[in-house]
Structure 1
Amino acid sequence: MSTTPHLDALQRDGFVVVRNLLTPAEVEHYRGIATAATTRTRAGDWPHFRTVPKQFPPWPSTPPPASEGGIWGVQHLLHPRMPGREAFARCYFSGSILNVAEELMGVNSNNSKGNQNDEPLVMELFNLLVAPESKDFELRWHRDDVPETATPTEELLQLAAKSPGGRQSHAQYNLALCPDASLVVVPGSHRRARTETERNAGPYEPSLPNQLVVELQPGDAVFYDSNILHRGVYKAKPAGGEESRLTLHGSLGLKTADQEGVSDADAEAKKKVRATAVLQHGVGAWVYREDAAFGIGERAEKMRANLVAMGTGEGVGFSLQG
């Protein structure tokens, strides 16, 4: 039996579903806090959000009215001024999540390189994906760090560079607090260039060959290669009803210095790419502050320090447009 079943699935399919990552009690706990954060943001009392119909950052500073869809995400759950921040931090830095992330990034083997007391993981992003209001919303087919204009040769080179040896330098996940069937993926597409059918398909093509809808129940998580061909399909929140989608969307990184077999030049290039992917969301504007300390343990602070070392985000640009 494999000792790395999550990594095996990620390498084969480009994603892996981990059932019951949270207990029912934890789901209820975090759902209440996430609902409060969403209500606050919908009311205009939290300034960091994702707005309909925009897919990628930067997002507007003012949310559209509910009649136009409103928001589809709440940003910066770990921000010092976010109500419920400590609870969100305990979820983000929990052993259940970090253990899966370590397996996917090969931390045990990579830890043999360098000082054993160094923290190999980097705090990255922790956001909340929610249902838009009054109208459905869809994301177009994309890979997070490979532009749709890339040629087949460029795609293959970039995919290989971003996950050498089949391992990524980061772990990205959706953790559902409500039933969620929003993520649509094409299994195996993280290891190949797009087919002619995929290249010629419309950006919101409802049915690509072999696509799969990832179905999550509360407490389930899907960890996925961010460069698998994927999109999102978000059903509108019922008018006057409870929040129908509350999905914690997080990512954790691996310090490039901890990756075996990566040259200094490649490590620097990977660092710049990852810095753009993370810092484009604005986390560098506050993570270095004194009041950004979590107070929940040494490991959280070391991971935060690793993010601070990536920079403030000024001038890094954006991975994708739209």
Structure 2
Amino acid sequence: MVSSTPHLDALRRDGFVKIPNLLPYHILIALKAACKYTTDRARNGKWPYVRTVPKQYPPWQEWQPGDNIWGVQHLLHPDMNVRDTFAEVYFSNEVLDVVKELVGLKDDPGADEKLVMELFNLLVSPAEGVDFELRWHRDDIRPDVSAEEEERLLKEKTPQGQQLHAQYNIALFEDASLIVVLGSHRRVRTEAERNADPYEPELPGQLVVELAPGDAVFYDSNILHRGVYKGIDTSKSLGRMTLHGSVGLAGHGNERARQVLQHAVGEWVDRAQFSMQGAKGEQAEAMRKRLVDMGSGKDLGYSLVG
């Protein structure tokens, strides 16, 4: 019998699901142009909201002269002058149909009323030939917790095996930066994983997720994972440009709010506007308002440190 939720089945089993050719070619062309423009501006200090080497987790600092970036934040920000190109993808059926399946809303007639706008950022290659690596981590469970606390948190953050959001990477160029430990989203770390170097290059069961242009990977935020970024000569190469987003499920209070609002999206979302018309525009505005309702994020703290 063929499953009606193959993406969700894979996510629950493996901790991630790869979807080839999620975005059509004509959308990719527009995105590549918008991302090159946006990245060039960010590297030159004309867009202050960035992720800088070697910092790995929020809070992010605004760009300073001499900074080398590995990410561009807030693609849906009202001051982002190509935000409509990014919004067309973030609120697209291609993305949201997968999201609905992964958060258990595939057959829910009221699914559109339960989705929350969250994050949409761009991950890029560091410049100047500087390689950069992230530590092994789970997105919202600190590495120093006991095995008992880790087990409790895993269950709490995935009630009845259900994620409260869906997060994804969509590659615009070839990308082999994400490394995951297959199936680790449903169990505490092994002793080998707990005692491993934070940058251990080879953990048992690890898998490099290889994406072609237009491919997407949706992954459970509890999976053990890290990123490896190869530095480039920006005069000769565009390097990696991968959209990194998340869409939430309404009604989960501070538990989800901290994870989203630690990225400072609450500071501008009340001013965000999108040019889309019709049902798509109405859905975008409703999702935006649900994020506004989550608040500014002040005093909620940060998931990880470093």
Tell me if TM exceeds 0.5. yes
Stretch of structure 1 that moved more, 310-319 or 92-101: 310-319
Say whether the 8 Å CA contact 1:52–1:64 is kept in structure 2: no
State the Cα deviation string for residues 214-264 of structure 1 (Å, max 9, x = none).
0000000000001100000000123412311100000000012xxxxxxxx
Q: Which residue of 1 aligns with 2:122?
A: 128
Say whether the 8 Å CA contact 1:51–1:64 is kept in structure 2: no
Q: Which residue of 2 aligns with 1:74?
A: 72
Q: Which residue of 2 aligns with 1:285?
A: 267
Residue of 200, 204, 211 corresponding to 2:206 = 211
Residue of 124, 147, 152 corresponding to 2:142 = 147
Q: Which residue of 1 aligns with 2:183?
A: 188
Residue of 267, 280, 294 corresponding to 1:310 = 294
1:141 deviation in Å? 0.3
Structure 1 counterpart of 2:88, which letter?
Answer: R
Cα 1:117–1:149 change in 2 (3 A) is closer
Q: In 2, Cα distance between the equivalents of 1:239 and 1:252?
A: 31
Cα 1:243–1:149 change in 2 (3 A) is same
Instruction: Give the percent of matched residue pairs that are identical in Structure 1 and Structure 2.
Output: 58
Cα 1:79–1:168 change in 2 (3 A) is same
State the Cα deviation string for residues 60-103 of structure 1 (Å, max 9, x = none).
2234626xxx0000000000110210010000000000000000
Structure 2 residues without counterparts, runs of 5 or longer = none
Q: In 2, Cα distance between the equivalents of 1:239 and 1:288?
A: 35
Q: In 2, Cα distance between the equivalents of 1:194 and 1:148?
A: 10
Structure 1 residues without counterparts, runs of 5 or longer = 257-266
Task: Summarize the alignment of residues 3-18 of structure 1 with structure 2, pairs less than 5 Å apart.
Answer: 3-18=4-19
Structure 2 counterpart of 1:94, which letter?
Answer: S
Task: Summarize the alignment of residues 1-322 of structure 1 with structure 2, pairs less than 5 Å apart.
Answer: 1-63=2-64, 65=66, 70-108=68-106, 111=108, 116=110, 119-134=113-128, 135-256=130-251, 267=252, 271-289=253-271, 292-296=272-276, 297-322=281-306
Structure 2 counterpart of 1:35, which letter?
Answer: K
Say whether the 8 Å CA contact 1:37–1:83 is kept in structure 2: no
Task: Give the TM-score normalised by the residue count of structure 2.
Answer: 0.95
Q: Which residue of 2 aligns with 1:259?
A: none
Q: Which residue of 2 aligns with 1:260?
A: none
Cα 1:35–1:118 change in 2 (3 A) is closer
Structure 2 counterpart of 1:244, which letter?
Answer: G
Q: In 1, Cα distance between the equivalents of 2:295 and 2:176?
A: 35
Q: In 2, Cα distance between the equivalents of 1:142 and 1:226?
A: 9
- Cα-Cα RMSD: 1.4
Structure 2 counterpart of 1:130, which letter?
Answer: V
1:27 deviation in Å? 1.2
Structure 2 counterpart of 1:123, which letter?
Answer: M
1:279 deviation in Å? 0.4
Task: Give the TM-score normalised by the residue count of structure 1.
Answer: 0.90
1:25 deviation in Å? 2.0
Q: In 2, Cα distance between the equivalents of 1:304 and 1:241?
A: 38
1:272 deviation in Å? 1.0
Q: In 2, Cα distance between the equivalents of 1:239 and 1:22?
A: 26
SS at match of 1:174: strand
Say whether the 8 Å CA contact 2:70–2:124 is kept in structure 1: yes
Structure 1 counterpart of 2:181, which letter?
Answer: V
Say whether the 8 Å CA contact 2:49–2:61 is kept in structure 1: no
Q: In 2, Cα distance between the equivalents of 1:295 and 1:205?
A: 45
SS at match of 2:113: coil
Q: In 2, Cα distance between the equivalents of 1:91 and 1:104?
A: 18
